[in-house]
Structure 1
Amino acid sequence: MELSSHASLYRSGEPVRDAWLLCSGSVVRFQPLEDGGRRAIEVVQGPQLLNLGETFSATHYRSSCESSSRCILVAIDMRVLRPMISAEPALSASIIEALARRLSATETDSRGHHRSTTGAQRILDYLLEQAGEPGRLAGESTVTLNATKKVIASQVGLTPEAFSRSLRQLIDQGVLVVDKRNFHIQHAALLDTGLGDAGHRLSFARKTRRTATDMRNGLPPGALINLCGRLRFLSQQLAIASARLVWEIAPADARIRLRQFDGEFERTLARLRKLPLEAALEEPLAAVLSTWPAYRQALLSTAATAQDRLKLFRLSEAVLNVADHLTSVAAQCAGTPDARYVNVAGRNRMLSQRIGKLFLFRELVDTQEEIDDQISASIVEFDANLDELRQGSRRLPELIAQLDEVAQQWERFSAALAPDPSRMNRNRHARLLLAEGDRLLRYVDTAVKLYERLTK
């Protein structure tokens, strides 16, 4: 049987005639409520037999089920299946094992909904369960959820508003990177780096209202350096999004990214302006504030001619330079080795995007030789920075493991810079490079977050 998205499979009150095997796609099971609403029971995405409890214990469904994406299912007649279970011990053992796993998951889930558990922890536990991978020290696991956030919020026992706040907390902690329906879990960020205990998980306290004293004290050194450094790589991501429009690489997605990065750049600047900064940072921040408007105007305009594209490229470099100076001064003001490592890791985070920008603009502006030199210099710097970070890893297991993951992804990204031209056209080459660059960005960003925590 094939179902389109949001089609009903069965409704509460209907007789149980078939056992449904989900082969591909995803479905949502929910409990209808008296007020006409509904409460999500589970989201099923992997191949499995649906609704084991009701299928084998009830004559009529108590829940309803509908597809959340295009699905392919197999319907097994219960009049055939029940005698087979009685006659085939191996089949009945498999059914019992599946029921036992479901019961165990339900018990764990009920504990996760205890009032003392924060919303961030509930969401994280749910995503880790969906990932289905054993605990890893570094790298990432990606979970693609086809259900809406409203459905997922209902399943973990949160309102949509609380779900959004808790999700933002996980993103701010560096534990999660969200890209549309893809949730990238950053394993090294799950650990409370700096305690010296690789098994100690990060705790997610309930958010408290910031006091006036908190605002006067400002940010810890690592957090301030990281905040300044975000302006560096955002300046490059904005240029990439603009270049993608010219290349016609998923232009609708590029426009969305352009708006998102523009908003994040503006919010970061606004936050820095509100902080009580040292005097040494006032002039570098003023330079960013004065350089940004022209770049922003160029980004929001159509880069129709080569001259327009060259102007945009030069402005992206200008904003990068003043943002880099601001970040370097913040690291100097902190004056500690760990603060320096936040800056060095942040440079590599920026380089992961700058190389992609240079690659795209190489064919858009008439400065190929200059850009080739800049790509080569960026590659050399990334390697040197990575070596320095590895030497200053404090022998923390999660940090060492994360830097190893960065090194492996850096090799894949470097290989994507010059693939076999006989197997890939120009546009596919660019798509591959940008995809590898996005993954490298996530890995390096996690390393930045780990170094930031050490400055506390």
Structure 2
Amino acid sequence: MKRRLFIASSALAALAPVGARAQVADLNDAINKAGRQRMLSQRASKAYLALVQKVEPRSAQQVLDRSVALFERQLGELKAFAPTPTLRATYDGLDGAWRAFRTELADAAPGREAAARVVALDAAVLALAHQGTAQYEAASGRPVGRLVNIAGRQRMLSQRMAKCYLAAAMQIDPAGSTAEIAKARTEFLAALELLRNAPEATAQIRQELVLADAQWMFFNRGLQRLDGAGASPALMSDVFVSSENLLAIMDRVTGLYAEIKT
């Protein structure tokens, strides 16, 4: 248990905004950060659902606070860097969707009804964040930009699966949540193979993907034990912690692809 919590704490620290770049460096960095906004929409919802169900409450509060802070900082950076009116319009729209989502996340007394609203609102944030990522990839026009986008999307899928698990445990659209987990699982595994076999994949990237495979096995084992409202606190905790660990690995992979300048 101590080992598991230590790993989770390390994952939290890896994604904390402290010490990260204050501005967007180039288009690869823009794709990385834009894609991270997708993940943060799902991670914030996951943390909120965990708090409602008293799953890893201390870590969940840290995840929520850091996700909100990082999203807001990166939103400002991406808006300032946006090279076209189309991109600026996307981020203006994202700003509005984020404000509504953030307001719901700030509910001082989270409950099931509020949790359902949070899950509904994160969809608009995710859609616009994905749109911005695709637009930045198109502006790049380089094959590595696509790989940064794909690797970055893995981060979002890890958080989306965990969020849907916790939503199903609360009976928030359980059938839809279960279907989303199955869809995300298929997409995640296909993308792992693509990233592993890409000509641009370095030895370091492949090494990180081996770690992702191992963490995926643990995470997926938890996902497969979903039993609706019968999910135990221990199972929900395992899914929460393993999703953080998988996220940290995929964030490193995305950063490594973003550093490729060819």
Q: TM-score range by the shorter chain?
A: 0.7 to 0.9
Q: Is residue 165–residue 226 contact of structure 2 (8 Å, CA) maintained in 1?
A: no
Residue 250 of structure 1 is matched in structure 2 by 56
Q: How far does residue 308 in structure 1 lie from its aligned partner after superposition?
A: 2.4
Unaligned runs of 5+ in 2: none
Residues in 2 aligned to 1:279 and 1:393: alpha-carbon distance in whole angstroms: 34
How many residues were matched structurally? 251
Q: How far does residue 382 in structure 1 lie from its aligned partner after superposition?
A: 0.4
Q: Is residue 416–residue 429 contact of structure 1 (8 Å, CA) maintained in 2?
A: yes
Q: Is residue 164–residue 181 contact of structure 2 (8 Å, CA) maintained in 1?
A: yes
Q: How far does residue 303 in structure 1 lie from its aligned partner after superposition?
A: 6.1
Measured at CA, do residues 333 and 419 of structure 1 come closer, stay the same or move farther in structure 2, by a change above 3 Å?
A: same
Residue 173 of structure 2 is matched in structure 1 by 367
* 1:341-356 equivalence runs, <5 A: 341-356=147-162
Q: Is residue 221–residue 455 contact of structure 1 (8 Å, CA) maintained in 2?
A: no
Q: How far does residue 408 in structure 1 lie from its aligned partner after superposition?
A: 2.4
Residue 429 of structure 1: which of 235, 246, 256 is its match?
Answer: 235
Residue 228 of structure 1: which of 16, 34, 42 is its match?
Answer: 34
Letter of the 2:140 counterpart: A
Q: Is residue 310–residue 365 contact of structure 1 (8 Å, CA) maintained in 2?
A: no
Residues in 1 aligned to 2:260 and 2:10: alpha-carbon distance in whole angstroms: 31
Q: Is residue 145–residue 258 contact of structure 2 (8 Å, CA) maintained in 1?
A: yes
Residues in 2 aligned to 1:304 and 1:276: alpha-carbon distance in whole angstroms: 35
Q: How far does residue 379 in structure 1 lie from its aligned partner after superposition?
A: 0.4
Residue 179 of structure 1 is matched in structure 2 by 9
Q: Between Structure 1 and Structure 2, whose CA radius of gyration is higher?
A: 1
Residue 288 of structure 1 is matched in structure 2 by 94
* 1:32-431 equivalence runs, <5 A: 179=9, 219-302=25-108, 304-394=110-200, 396-419=202-225, 426-431=232-237
Cα deviation 1:318-377 (Å, max 9, x = unaligned): 211111111111111111110000000011111111100110011324411111111110
Q: Is residue 309–residue 365 contact of structure 1 (8 Å, CA) maintained in 2?
A: no
Residues in 2 aligned to 1:445 and 1:181: alpha-carbon distance in whole angstroms: 10
Q: Is residue 48–residue 115 contact of structure 2 (8 Å, CA) maintained in 1?
A: no
Cα deviation 1:399-442 (Å, max 9, x = unaligned): 22222222222222111212498xx9600001111111111111
Unaligned runs of 5+ in 1: 1-141, 145-176, 185-206
Q: How far does residue 309 in structure 1 lie from its aligned partner after superposition?
A: 2.0
Q: Is residue 82–residue 88 contact of structure 2 (8 Å, CA) maintained in 1?
A: no
* Superposition TM-score, scaled by structure 1 size: 0.51
Residues in 1 aligned to 2:149 and 2:221: alpha-carbon distance in whole angstroms: 26
Measured at CA, do residues 413 and 449 of structure 1 come closer, stay the same or move farther in structure 2, by a change above 3 Å?
A: same
Residues in 1 aligned to 2:205 and 2:127: alpha-carbon distance in whole angstroms: 28
Cα deviation 1:74-113 (Å, max 9, x = unaligned): xxxxxxxxxxxxxxxxxxxxxxxxxxxxxxxxxxxxxxxx
Q: Is residue 393–residue 399 contact of structure 1 (8 Å, CA) maintained in 2?
A: no
Measured at CA, do residues 256 and 387 of structure 1 come closer, stay the same or move farther in structure 2, by a change above 3 Å?
A: closer
Measured at CA, do residues 276 and 395 of structure 1 come closer, stay the same or move farther in structure 2, by a change above 3 Å?
A: closer
RMSD: 2.9
Measured at CA, do residues 394 and 257 of structure 1 come closer, stay the same or move farther in structure 2, by a change above 3 Å?
A: closer
Residues in 2 aligned to 1:395 and 1:242: alpha-carbon distance in whole angstroms: 35
SS at match of 2:131: helix
Cα deviation 1:107-163 (Å, max 9, x = unaligned): xxxxxxxxxxxxxxxxxxxxxxxxxxxxxxxxxxx9x7xxxxxxxxxxxxxxxxxxx
Measured at CA, do residues 232 and 220 of structure 1 come closer, stay the same or move farther in structure 2, by a change above 3 Å?
A: same
SS at match of 2:169: coil
Letter of the 1:409 counterpart: Q
Letter of the 1:274 counterpart: A
